[in-house]
Amino acid sequence: QKEVEQNSGPLSVPEGAIASLNCTYSDRGSQSFFWYRQYSGKSPELIMFIYSNGDKEDGRFTAQLNKASQYVSLLIRDSQPSDSATYLCAVLSGTYKYIFGTGTRLKVLA
Amino acid sequence: DVKVTQSSRYLVKRTGEKVFLECVQDMDHENMFWYRQDPGLGLRLIYFSYDVKMKEKGDIPEGYSVSREKKERFSLILESASTNQTSMYLCASRVENQPQHFGDGTRLSIL
């Protein structure tokens, strides 16, 4: 069974700090990796995707991928209370099947 | 902007009813997906469709069927609703090799 593991949290960080969210996956053949943000009662919203080893930055968000360690992370700089949500890591296994982690709940304290 | 529209935000049905959940996307996406999301279990894939009239089972297809007669519309059918199908249902679509985007979700309660 292919899996994606995330710490469920909550991860609490003060406003303005860097939040670091981590994810490990079991399918060594995976090539595409995604981070979704989900507010309570809402649907997931894509915030980052990464296909190559290394870092990818978009505004306050940085996704990091290490395929050798089967590890994906999301950094949120200058965290805001509006960043408080559950963050889902997803891995594309094969052509069509996305495997989702159960999410990490982030709380940014004002 | 990608727009994936699910027909209902909230739905209440009775055990044994046949239930239809509709999903429409306006971006000519080839691939469409149905998931359910339950606390502690995350998103689980029920069915997906890689093109019109094509469908594939996901991880939990039992008790569900799907229909994709037109490219923009992907329907999920609960043949005979049961209480263990109470859940949040999420539709997603994508162009192949691009990220998928989700609709707003349907919170379905089976009484």
Q: Which residues of B touch A102 (CB under 8 A)?
A: 40-42
How far apart, in whole angstroms, are the C-alpha atoms of residue A101 and residue A62?
19
Which pLDDT score, from 0 to 100, does residue A18 have?
Answer: 98
Across the interface, whether the CB atoms of B90 and A34 are under 8 A apart is answered no
What does the mean pLDDT of chain B come to?
94
Give the per-residue pLDDT at A94: 87
> Which one-letter DSSP state was computed for residue B9?
S
Predicted pLDDT at B98 = 87
Mean pLDDT for the stretch of residues B32-48: 94
pLDDT digits (tens, 9 = 90+) for A31-82: 999 999 999 999 999 999 999 999 999 999 999 999 999 999 999 999 999 9
Taking the Cβ of residue B104 and every Cβ of chain A, the question of whether any pair is shorter than 8 Å is answered with yes
Cβ contact, residue pair A96, B31, below 8 Å = yes
> What's the pLDDT at B41?
87
Best of A1, A25, A32, A43 to mutate (most B CBs within 10 Å, chain B): A43
- pLDDT (tens digit per residue) in A19-31: 999 999 999 989 9
Tokens of B26: 């306006």
Instruction: Choose the closest CB to B48 out of A36, A46, A96.
Output: A96
Query: Chain A: which residues have CB within 8 Å of chain B?
Result: 34, 36, 42-46, 49, 88, 95-98, 100-103
In this predicted structure, what is the pLDDT of residue A2?
77
* Gap between the Cα atoms of B32 and B36, Å rounded: 14
- The rounded distance, in Å, linking the Cα atoms of A19 and A107 is 9
Ranges assigned E (strand) in chain B:
4-6, 10-13, 19-25, 31-38, 42-49, 56-57, 64-70, 73-78, 87-94, 101-102, 106-110
The separation between CA A10 and the C-alpha centre of its own chain, rounded to angstroms, equals 14
Residues of A in contact with B103 (CB under 8 A): 43
**Confidence band, pLDDT 50/70/90 cuts, at residue B2:** confident
Does B54 contact A at CB distance below 8 Å?
Answer: no
